[in-house]
Amino acid sequence: MSSTMLNTKPLPTLKESKPRSTAGTAIVVLAYVVLVIVALVMFVPFLFSVSTSLKTPPEATKLTLSNMFWPDNPTLDAYRIAFESNIQRWFLNSVIVALIWIIGRVSFATLAGYAFARMDFPGRDFIFTMLLATMMVPGIVLIIPRFMLLQDMKLLNTYGALTVPFLVDVFGIFLMKQFFETIPIDLEEAARIDGASRYQIFRTIVLPNTVPALSALAIFSFQGSWNNFLEPVIYITGGNTNLYTLPVGLANFRSLYLTNWPVLMAIAVITTVPMAIFFLVFQRYFIQGNVASGIKG
C-alpha cells in the first residue's frame, strides 16, 4: 500500500449520555414535590394575610374552610382605612431610608472590600480580623451606645438617626472581599501594564464584574432597612409620626385597631409587597452573589 493512504481510524464521537435510572428519576420527582410543598407552606401565611385584608371585621373573626383563603364578600374597606392614615408618609420614609442604606452600604463595602482583597497595607489582616470579630457582638448591645452618640450629635428624631448608624455593615465588607478574590488578578495586572491607574482598573474592570455581589448586598440592605423596627422605635421619640417607617406604623396601627384584623392585614400586605417585588427582580443576581462570595479565588 502507498504510504500516503488516508488514515481510516474512525473519528471520535461524543459519548452518549447514560439514561437516568428509574430510581434516580423517582428521587428527582420526589425532591421537586417536596420543594413545591415547602413553597406552598411558606406562601400560605401571605395568602392568608391578603385574604383577611379583603374581609369585613365580622367575617375575619369567623374562620371557616370556605373563607380561609378567599372572603365570601371581598371588600377594599381595610385598604381604604389604611390609606386614609399617614401610611403614604411612612411608605415614603421607608423608601428614603432604604435607598440611603443601599447607597451607603454598597459604596463603603465595595471600597473597603476591594482594599482588603487587593491592596497591601500594614495591619490589613489584623484590621479585617477585628472587623469580623464585631459580627459576634449582638446588635441589641449597640442600641444604647448608638442612642447616646446620636443624642450628642443631635440626630435623634431625624432621618440621620434612621440612616447614619447603618451606612456601613461588616457583613457587606466580608461579602465584597470574598467576591473580589474570585476575580482573576491577571485582568488587573494586564491593565496595569497598559498604564491604567488603580482607579481606572477598579472602575472599568473590577466594578463591572461585581454586579451579582452588589445586587446581593443591595437586597440584604433593602431587607434589613425595610424590616427594621427596634431602632426606629427607640431613636424616633416624642411620638413624631411623620418620621415613622412602615414597621413602626404597623405597630401604631396595632394599638389603634386591636381587633380590626382586616386593617392590620392590609398594612401588613402593603409592607410586604415592595420587598417581595424587589427580591423577585434581583433574585438571579442575589443567588449568584451568595454562591460566588463563598468561593475564594
Band (5; pLDDT cuts 50, 70, 90):
very low
Band (276; pLDDT cuts 50, 70, 90):
confident
Collapsing DSSP to helix, strand or coil, 269 comes out as helix
- Section 214-242 average pLDDT: 87
The crossing angle, in degrees rounded to 10, of helices 170-180 and 124-133 is 130
Which region among 36-45, 131-140, 250-259, 287-296 has the lowest average model confidence (pLDDT)?
287-296
pTM of the model: 0.76
Count of CB atoms situated within 10 Å of the CB of 294: 11
Q: How far apart are CA 236 and CA 257, in angstroms?
A: 22
Which region among 58-67, 73-82, 148-157, 261-270 has the lowest average model confidence (pLDDT)?
58-67
What pLDDT does residue 43 have? 82
DSSP 18-55: PPPPHHHHHHHHHHHHHHHHHHHHHHHHHHHHHHHHTS
What pLDDT does residue 127 have? 94
Residues in the chain, overall count = 297
Band (7; pLDDT cuts 50, 70, 90):
very low
Domains in the chain, ordered, with CATH? 30-75 (no CATH), 86-293 (1.10.3720.10)
**Percentage of the chain lying above the pLDDT 90 cut:** 26
- Section 264-276 average pLDDT: 84
Tens digit of each residue's pLDDT (9 = 90 or more) over 127-160: 999 999 998 888 888 899 999 999 999 999 999 9
Q: How far apart are CA 151 and CA 111, in angstroms?
A: 29
Band (110; pLDDT cuts 50, 70, 90):
very high
